[in-house]
Amino acid sequence: MPSNAEVYPNAIVLNKKNILETSNESNKFQKKTYKIPHGYVVKTTWSRASKKQTICREIDYINAVPQFHIKYDSNFQYVVSSTKSVTNAAIKYEPLLKPGTKAKISGPILFGLQLDSIRKAHESRKRGNLIKPAINCTSSILEKRIKKLAIKIQSNFKNDIKRVYHQSDQVILDNIKFSVNKKDCFQVSCGLENEINRTHQFRSVVKADYQGQISRESYQELAAVEGNLPCKNSVSNERIAITDNMNQLIKISLVNMNRRDKLEEALGSDESEFRNPEITREAIDIMGIKKKVLRLSDTTIHLRVSSDECNVECKIKHVMITFMILNHKEHHHHADYHYTTVLYPQTEKYNILEFILNPFFNELQSLKENELEAAEILWNFELYFSSDWKSLAICLGLNGPTSNYFCP
């Protein structure tokens, strides 16, 4: 008896290996006409001890014609064959088994065609012929296969942990990772995803993407080799959500440089939002008192305004105006405490600076002369200006830092 055989309650031995071994030529005809594959072998054993007998039945195909063989005796040296049917082969074998008997043997039963394992082998073989290779499947079909495989693995995992771990142990299957054809790698997350951790992960990726200026193609290459990275669409959606949230918290106005008459309209209403008591109170509380930048004992806010020209991406010239609260002495050189107020793509020119900064200077003058009331405290301002000589000369309307106005 072969080592890969299985013994069934009805004492019929099935060699599964031979069932699955088929030639390309015979398999072509088997798809159209026959359910039994080429090289089909079944062994049957009955009785015990000295009366024990074993016969071997085989089904082969020669030129698309099935050949039914029954081999018997100790070494299967005797063969009964038929090209008609399994029943015809059984009829030929009956007188050889018990001469003179009138008993009839069922051909399908003798060849084991009624076995449940045979039926399952037929079905699995049929399904195997219908399943397409992964290289020929669409993304939707691959996704369905991944989900189906993940569900089966989860089900088996739940059953297996009961035999390995104690019932009080909490064993969780986090993810499933596998590859197809040694190149397509898939990772499936199992269970409920922690929404907070997912949001933190997306925001961290957005921050790294922004600071490192990672292109879309480069990120896709990274995500292809590292399955833990979120997909580019998820990162893009998180970036959009952050932008929308910041637009609600911080008002950003876009000004058309060619429409100077529409400047006030572009920046908003005539009433400045700096005078909105709710906004000023929140700004003083969050930026000032809570961070210990401002002190109630000192109601003077030292505000520094800086201007300079810089290169932003691909060497494009930009002019930026920033401000900083100098009361926070420990973070004068920390970038997170410098706030950008104006940013536009141009070189430093007096007429453009005058046009862009006019509303901003009006607000600064108002803060300096009228002070600011917030949290029932009247805050006064000391203004400072920091820039290089070139920028300072342009802001003063000069052609350059000449010796007439600047010390050599």
Flag whether 407 is in a domain. no
CA distance 257 to 114: 87
* Residues 301 and 383 occupy one common structural domain: yes
What is the count of structural domains for the chain? 4
User: Is the C-alpha dihedral spanning 186, 209, 242, 193 positive or negative?
Assistant: positive
Amino acid 255: pLDDT:
61
Residue-averaged pLDDT of the chain: 70
For residue 43, give the CATH number of its domain: 3.30.160
pTM for the whole structure: 0.34
* Residues 60 and 115 occupy one common structural domain: yes
Amino acid 327: pLDDT:
79
* Residues 313 and 329 occupy one common structural domain: yes
* Residues 272 and 371 occupy one common structural domain: yes
Query: pLDDT confidence of 402, banded at 50, 70, 90?
Result: low
Query: Which DSSP letter does residue 230 get?
Result: P
Q: Assess whether pLDDT exceeds 70 at residue 243.
A: yes
- The C-alpha R_g of the chain, in whole angstroms, comes to 42
Q: How far is CA 340 from CA 129, 168, 240, in A?
A: 65, 56, 20
- In the three-class reduction of DSSP (H, G, I as helix; E, B as strand; rest coil), residue 324 is classed as strand
> Which helix (DSSP H) or strand (DSSP E) does residue 326 occupy?
none
- Show which of 220, 250, 280 is a domain's final residue: 250
Amino acid 121: pLDDT:
62
- Show which of 147, 166, 191 is a domain's final residue: 191
* Residues 323 and 267 occupy one common structural domain: yes
Max intra-chain CA distance, the chain: 137
* Residues 170 and 149 occupy one common structural domain: yes
* Residues 122 and 31 occupy one common structural domain: yes
Query: pLDDT confidence of 359, banded at 50, 70, 90?
Result: confident
Q: Which of 8-12, 21-25, 356-360, 381-385 has the lowest mean pLDDT?
A: 8-12
Amino acid at 175: N
- Show which of 95, 111, 130 is a domain's final residue: 130
Flag whether 408 is in a domain. no
HSE of 3, CA atoms in CB hemisphere, 13 A: 0
**Token pair recorded at residue 9:** 């309650």
Q: Which domain covers residue 68, as residue numbers?
A: 5-130
* Residues 300 and 364 occupy one common structural domain: yes
* Residues 96 and 201 occupy one common structural domain: no
Flag whether 255 is in a domain. no
Higher model confidence: residue 350 or residue 234? 234
Flag whether 274 is in a domain. yes
Model confidence pLDDT, tens digit, residues 85-133: 777 777 777 777 777 776 677 777 666 666 666 666 666 666 655 678 8
CA distance 294 to 375: 12
CA distance 91 to 87: 6
Backbone angles phi, psi at 4, to 5 degrees: -95, 15
Helices (H), 131-231: 139-164, 195-212, 216-225
Flag whether 401 is in a domain. no
- In the three-class reduction of DSSP (H, G, I as helix; E, B as strand; rest coil), residue 344 is classed as strand
Q: Which of 279-283, 379-383, 384-388 has the lowest mean pLDDT?
A: 279-283
Rounded mean pLDDT, 245-269: 62
Flag whether 406 is in a domain. no
* Residues 216 and 331 occupy one common structural domain: no
Q: Assess whether pLDDT exceeds 50 at residue 29.
A: no
* Residues 244 and 328 occupy one common structural domain: no
Percentage of residues in the chain having pLDDT higher than 90: 0
Higher model confidence: residue 382 or residue 307? 382
Amino acid 398: pLDDT:
64
Flag whether 15 is in a domain. yes
Rounded mean pLDDT, 243-248: 81
CA distance 189 to 121: 33
Amino acid 348: pLDDT:
66
CB-based contacts of 179, cutoff 8 Å, min separation 6: 185, 186
Q: Is-contact 385 321, C-beta < 8 A?
A: no
Flag whether 246 is in a domain. yes
* Residues 118 and 15 occupy one common structural domain: yes
